[in-house]
Amino acid sequence: MSQSQQHSGRLTQAALGLSVLALVLWVPVAVSLLGEPPAAPPTEYVPEGEARRLLQVLPEEREIVREVMRENVVALHGVLSAIDAGDLEGAAALAREAARSPGPGRRDPALRERLPEDWLAMGKQVHRGYKSAARRLDGGATGLEALGDLSEVTGACVACHVSFRVVTVDTLPPAAE
């Protein structure tokens, strides 16, 4: 075999290797562009070491839960940004508004019936934290003094995310009796 043929063969092998590498790298990208893969039924797949409790919700309920979580993160960011800017009156107003915002259970009574008591208690803790921060700021406290109340909000968020895993199902299992 001539040097030219050997060189050509190596180039062909290199091109084939690059093609396989490109395919391996692009398949996950293509899958992600097509949308989320269907969720595995929660009873069939639980990550190893998963200690969180499963909360099964319908797709529309999942959107309600996510909407409330997004609203809370946006509200918290607004309150902290206002404190950072020295606008304590604005921070109090944003905290008060967040405290009054309905949680998932108030937005969907059927969902509320299935939410565990500790989930609901964590939601109440979020509202208490915002309400307390607003009251403290209205009373002339510094932004630093209101951080403890806002820590109550984030503490409830952390506790909930550590305790629960929300999974979407097409139909709800029959209620336990």
Examine residue 83 and state whether it is found in any structural domain, yes or no. Answer: yes
| 65-78: average pLDDT | 95
The pLDDT value given to residue 37? 47
> 3-state secondary structure string, 98-144?
HHHCCCHHHHCHHHHHHCCHHHHHHHHHHHHHHHHHHHHHHCCCCHH
Instruction: Give yes or no: residues 63 and 122 share one domain.
Output: yes
Examine residue 176 and state whether it is found in any structural domain, yes or no. Answer: no
| pLDDT higher than 90, residue 44 | no
At 94-152, the pLDDT tens digits run: 999 999 999 999 999 999 998 999 999 999 999 999 999 999 999 999 999 999 999 99
Examine residue 47 and state whether it is found in any structural domain, yes or no. Answer: no
Per the structure, the complete domain to which residue 3 belongs is given by: 1-37
Instruction: Give yes or no: residues 57 and 31 share one domain.
Output: no
Examine residue 48 and state whether it is found in any structural domain, yes or no. Answer: no
Examine residue 128 and state whether it is found in any structural domain, yes or no. Answer: yes
At 84-94, the pLDDT tens digits run: 999 999 999 99
| pLDDT higher than 60, residue 68 | yes
Instruction: Give yes or no: residues 13 and 92 share one domain.
Output: no
The pLDDT value given to residue 8? 55
Q: Which stretch of 5-9, 20-24, 84-88 has the lowest confidence by average pLDDT?
A: 20-24
Instruction: Give yes or no: residues 104 and 156 share one domain.
Output: yes
Examine residue 92 and state whether it is found in any structural domain, yes or no. Answer: yes
Instruction: Give yes or no: residues 17 and 93 share one domain.
Output: no
pTM greater than 0.75 (yes/no): no
Report the number of distinct structural domains present in the chain.
Answer: 2
